[in-house]
Structure 1
């Protein structure tokens, strides 16, 4: 089963248990569909449509790609090199590439030409590395023309139709019948020849029969100024910056510092594909969270925050462009991008102009942030004697909502001089086309959104012991791990078998175990369910504190005792100390996200057993002084 599906005219989709055919795309959010059972046409939201085969097959076993981190390096390198050759051949175009190019690709990869044609066909449907990874079961073997007959048909159409002196379909069919007869093959009918010809992109047909200049004038979309960014999702630039704003905590409304903003901006259209805000320094996790937000549809995300707006920007980019920071050069990001068929490219050193689009985006967003109470402005000269901390009024959650409203209701609809249009209008033109320019169609939607999010999170290899699994001094266990205790490596019985685990650094109370047999993730909670949720930052801070006290053998009990002591100190000092309030706000945001995730997330295959985790620290008594929001903030 493909990892994505695309809503486009002619696609078979499912909605509320019934099957529909997409007739046409009306907007970025809606499609006109015809119900197969009654031939009734209705307008449906694209976000509500599903791939028809995913509903029809239901709970039937589906072939799934392996976990990224379980693939051996030699297999990964081989698959990557194969995908690169096929990608270059695919970009030439089905009806522009020659038999010689296919022969060269086959010789380079040591495969038959039939295998190259099969890979090309599969790559057109699902541009990911999964096609080239070892399969655990054979292909389903649906009825289709053999590769040899396909080749005969393509060559005949090139000789008779794809040229200035074009002949007729009957001439093509007669040539195909003759050639197949000489090779001992079963020839296809005239109807199939006609379908194959109409399947050739109109731009290719016009170029071959009327000339490339005519085709270019009629079909080529407006070009962007960045190399290769001719269409939406061709190139996305991603980067971080501290926000020019002091935020406050949610309890005392006191300043806790500046958050870090990570954004992903589409170079061709300038729409903001996604962003991430948090209080930690930028790292691989923040990049992964931003990318998953950029690639996934955002209807549910907006609804959770009570934002009445549309943000129809999603999809898999062809290329992600970054600077040379270390968080953009890690194995997790590299493998995840390769898995989803995304080129990861760092800008040349010393060539800051290559990141101009994202930098200009930051300047635009920060100028808007400079209008908020608590802004730090862009420099001290602009700030003068403005008391940023004293004027600050917005929490991280409030600023996230404010920023999302600004993007969806202002920035996307504001005229941009660089593209001579608004970002959202340019994005829509690129996808749906105009009267004289074709669009590329709506992007694919991801079938398994949770899997995509996990693919971009950090991972580690661990064996399963009698106590479960230990990661950064913290123990985890669940019933599903019992059968894996002291399991031997099936490829080498003299070694213990290792398994892949992933985690979200914002909340390490749960890690995710990849079951290599079931080909799915399972939540693994703390081994001791009474532990409070904690961030990775808190765990490592507690370890550093224990080491500073001369305790080299740090155990889990001392870590959580240290976390409880740190939290008690932070709560007592929160009214006076900015860094303490910042740490408390980190923990509070993690707790809220955990509750929302448990409430809204789909049911996992394996659920933690036992009572809910309870906090160690005692409740805070605030009866002595009731603090009302905004009491001590001067907004004049």
Structure 2
């Protein structure tokens, strides 16, 4: 009988039931202050009806840090409401700010306008604007800094939630992408969905003379199923349909190991995707890209929301943290150093940076486990590859993906482009006609000449830059050479550009072969004399004319003679 009463008393102390039938909360679930009050009042109740009750009541008030009157009030609430009476009762107007609606609207409007576009305004600045506005209108009763913070708290919290929101895209074991048109694509095999995007690389590159060019633009094409990088384009041109086409051309075609330094593995990923999943930028919605997609049988799809581009945007952060940050000329966006420090450290050319990036992708990134799929990226691409035909030839892709210009053929079969003179087989028969030039901006010593016939373009021949057949010259480098020659008042011809290239190579060789002592006469002379000024006079160079070189079209000869 005694044990049952004790057990009943414990249950009553653990959970008390009110007259209305509501079960009060468990003691352990109460806050610390309510549990402390419960323990003190339980001890005080044991002295009820005894002579020591007044003395214990004073001790209880001292332990709880309240007055004797408050202890009596707590005892009364405990008897009437049970444990619930020991908790702090919320105010009826809790969470409601006593602020005029005019001031509330002013605070929200100031914060929204201050964070529009690229501008940024903190809540502390909004509080200063409130005080300044109150001084302008002559009001002494305006919201305090704490009130301004409370008004802006829901807005700031909503913005932070939107920034942290991510679309993982997974439904079960299959990744599903939803387009802007509402079409759902289940990604089930390689080369089904490719994604493409651009970003400025956080590194400064220089030209062949060491002058600062700026930060290049990196364009990547990624296979959604395997997360394998299919192709890239690294250049100084801003994002455009032409840049996107060059990246697609690199991703579609098989890639030879022509980078310097050459990678240890082969870049085996290539093909034609079924879908191209991009954002709604103008470089992905142009008519040129629509023509490319229509000719290659690619379906263009736009993302439903910007946050759904994490698959193609995540590698950019990996490149910055693992690759670009280890190279000279790295410029982090969070804390950019002084420009003079960048110029003193930057020494990589665009071609050197591309060679290092290709090796990093082939030997490192594509060979690693993807955290989401837990499989090697290149291995997953190979295992998920479906049967497909051979990729189109380079000439077919030249018509769609390479940069183009229109020029008129001069008498004798010559073409002039980028201050260079080109000559090709059979062009003399098209003198006076307008032709289409297609080229890769990385090497403009070779032009692919097309002629417009109705709605189609017919390939005519290749045109080679005179006296530069054995050189490789990019469009940006050709413009830089022309600018330096123009500043030095030199005539811009193929001969002058060729001499500039040769003088530059000789200058670099002399600089590298000079002793390490900077005071050495030969090194000082090499450093003091720029490449253009050290060029030989026109008269001395004219005494050594270059032999005439005839250029043959190998593919044309092979077709004429039936060589397989």
After TM superposition, the score normalised by the length of structure 1 is: 0.43
Rg (Cα) greater in structure:
2
Greater RCO, 1 or 2 (C-alpha within 8 Å, sep 6+)? 1
